[in-house]
Homo-oligomer: A and B are copies of this chain.
């Protein structure tokens, strides 16, 4: 394992200390329980957005705390959901009296820990609503399983709901917006190499030199199938086809596109992927209203990318364009 760390046990704490020191204007980092709070929270009268999940996906979620996005984030250990006491403390600290929204990716651990926290929060009389993100079409959905994973749509929901909350939208509106964005989004990812969890000290999986893992999760969980490596253009087709099918997108539709890097894939390759993707969408007659290209929801140093499409409309585009000022995403402010 080759990492710039001191001790696998303290990577999260040390990295957060660095984040806090780098961005005192944006956020504050708390330990025990561990959470990251927007510098000017609580904002009275504003719906508060709280998210969280395992660490190792930076900048998500801690890098999305700030104006126009999250009020607080709860980072768990690497790839491990946070505990209820973290979520409880973050929720209380972020609460501005207008209600709190938990943005939760649909992983069993995240769901249970946020649920337990919501039960505890309820005792304090804070009204908490949940937006559950489950946009990963790599995973067969079924009533009898844990359902789909939450991936790329998380970033979009946090941006868009963050903009709505910043603009003063009430709790119910923020929640229904988040649910609508999640439903109108679909994602699929691919890995070219594994990540290495610091505590495990060895790669989570092995891929041969000519293999890639299609439908990879953001924790190195195996996906749909292992297939042979192929040109970017074909990879894009394999990723986007199930997304198009899932959202039933076609001629005349427009989308917000998110090409996400998993960590080790160079930005130049992500733009190259975006180039192939826009060609494909052009062929389909689908317009791109906005796009985001970069490593925003990573899986440590995994090589690969994911594609997320969100069916867009004027409201979503104007929320997208609204100012955001966080360590990981910033414009207009």
Q: Which residues from chain A sit less than 8 Å from chain B, CB to CB? A: 2-7, 11-12, 14-19, 21-22, 55-56, 58-59, 63, 192-193, 209, 212, 229, 231-233, 235, 263-276, 278, 288, 291, 293, 295, 298, 300-301, 303-305, 325, 330-333
Contact = CB atoms under 8 A, between A and B. Distances in A.
A275 B232 contact: no
5 contacts: A11-B269, A12-B268, A14-B276, A15-B268, A22-B274
Contacts of A63: 267
Contacts of A192: 2-4
A268 B17 CA distance: 10
Q: Chain A's interface: helix, strand, loop or mixed, by majority?
A: mixed
Nearest to A231: B6
Contacts of A209: 2
A302 B268 CA distance: 13
A27 to B, nearest CB: 12
A18 B274 contact: yes
Given A18-B272, A298-B267, A4 B58 contact: no
A267 B59 contact: yes
Given A275-B21, A291-B22, A4 B265 contact: yes
A332 to B, nearest CB: 7
Residue among A16, A193, A266, A300 having the largest count of chain B Cβ atoms under 10 Å: A266
B333 A22 contact: no
Contacts of A12: 268
Contact of A193 (B2, B7, B270, B272): B2
Contacts of A333: 331-332
Contacts of A22: 271, 274, 291, 293
A274 B5 contact: no
Q: Sorted from nearest, which 7 A-B pairs have the closest CB atoms?
A: A18-B275, A18-B271, A264-B264, A18-B274, A58-B267, A15-B268, A4-B269
B298 A19 contact: no
Contacts of A270: 4, 18
A65 to B, nearest CB: 13
A265 B302 CA distance: 10
Nearest to A292: B22
Contacts of A58: 266-268, 271
Nearest to A59: B267
Contacts of A301: 264-266, 303
Contacts of A59: 267
